[in-house]
Amino acid sequence: MRYFIIILFLVSFFSCSKNEKQKVDVSDIEVKTEIKRFDQKFYSTSPQDISELKAEFPYLFPQQNHDSVWVNKMSNKDELELFEETQKLYKDFSIEKKQLSSLFKYIKYYYPNFKEPVIITLLTNIDSDNRVILADSLLLISLDVFLGKDHKFYSDFPKYVKQSYTEEYITIAVAEKFAEQIVPPSNDNRFVARMIQEGKKMELMNHFLPNKSQVEIMGYEKQQFQWAVDNELEVWKYFIDKSLLFDTDTELSERFINEAPFSKFYIANDKDSPGRIGVWFGWQMVQSYIKNNDVTIQEMLATQNELIFKKSKYKPRKN
């Protein structure tokens, strides 16, 4: 019995270790995290002082819009309510600043020439498609898209859309934008290559966010991530049996890669599955490739998706 307990302990220990991230020391890396609260300035500025605001933030004021547009916006009841609700959570942005500074340090660790952008906080009337914009030296964050998934403003939004509308997801959404710019593009339209392309992005985010779980980085809830783990073998068999891996049908992205309430296998229990299951599989293949080939994150990103698939030695886990 004693030896049995020891064996169980060792199995548990190594299982935990396998899932732990390799953290690097970024304590000596210096970054500049400059944050400009456009949201606070805009809704506290009097109409006669708009010119000063436009001088400070010219990129946020399209020339074709007359000043009356901004005056009306400042006094709009719905706009003011949105600002008030946002201030309840983000009047003090110090916690978020610390998290973003940490993100910048990790980016700079892997990419020493990284230049920190100036962070602009603003409101966009819950424009989820543009909740984070990375443009050259500017990083725009729409705070009204991060008020919490149960906020009253999101009552009509689908669950799969608003589950990432949380304070904790701000740094993940920002990391995703940087990853999208860093990961080299691919012209390989085969389904397995598209999955791996997304997997590259997820693994880069994983390196940038060592304090975030893979569940959070995927944008899943715990039960959704567990579904992927529990059904890994069966889903992989489905991809193989249906000859999907090397298929170039663009519809496969809609079914298994793009944001969706669930993945589409066209079977009775589709709704039990999480969306973007192809992204999860791409991530598994990328991690398997890194593990079995002893490469750096930069070397992995520079490797063709087809080669990653061949050399990953990926095998789905058996439950």
Average of per-residue pLDDT values in the chain: 92
Spatial contact of 138 and 127, defined as CB atoms under 8 Å apart: no
Residue 3 lies in a domain: no
Spatial contact of 195 and 282, defined as CB atoms under 8 Å apart: yes
Q: Which two tokens stand for residue 140?
A: 């725009």
Residue 11 lies in a domain: no
- 40 with 173, same domain? yes
Query: What is the longest distance spanned by two Cα atoms in the chain?
Result: 81
Could you tell me the pLDDT band of residue 22, with boundaries at 50, 70 and 90? Answer: low
Q: How many domains does the chain have?
A: 2
Handedness of CA 60, 63, 69, 71 (dihedral sign): positive
- 86 with 167, same domain? yes
Residue 12: the pLDDT is: 36
Spatial contact of 280 and 273, defined as CB atoms under 8 Å apart: no
- 169 with 210, same domain? no
Residue 210 lies in a domain: yes
Above 90 in pLDDT, residue 178? yes
Share of the chain above pLDDT 70, in %: 93
- 164 with 216, same domain? no
- 108 with 59, same domain? yes
Residue 269 lies in a domain: yes
Q: Is 134 helix (H, G, I), strand (E, B) or coil?
A: strand
Spatial contact of 193 and 309, defined as CB atoms under 8 Å apart: yes
Asked which of 148, 182, 216 is the last residue of a domain, the reply is 182
Residue 136: the pLDDT is: 86
Above 70 in pLDDT, residue 3? no
Domain span holding position 137: 35-182
- 177 with 196, same domain? no
Could you tell me the pLDDT band of residue 6, with boundaries at 50, 70 and 90? Answer: very low
Q: Which two tokens stand for residue 201?
A: 């992005």
Per-residue CA distances from 162 to 145, 154, 235 (Å): 9, 7, 26
Q: What's the pTM?
A: 0.91
- 139 with 254, same domain? no
Q: For residue 122, what are the β-bridge partners?
A: 142
- 276 with 139, same domain? no
- 96 with 150, same domain? yes
Could you tell me the pLDDT band of residue 23, with boundaries at 50, 70 and 90? Answer: confident
The owner of tokens 């890396």 is 29
Q: What is the pLDDT of residues 226-261, one digit of tens each?
A: 999 999 999 999 999 999 999 999 999 999 999 999
Asked which of 147, 182, 217 is the last residue of a domain, the reply is 182
Residue 29 lies in a domain: no
Q: Which of the two residues, 7 and 78, has the higher pLDDT score?
A: 78
Per-residue CA distances from 304 to 188, 245, 253, 318 (Å): 9, 16, 19, 28
Asked which of 126, 160, 182 is the last residue of a domain, the reply is 182
Nearest to 61 by CA among 78, 45, 84: 45
Residue 15 lies in a domain: no
Residue 243 lies in a domain: yes
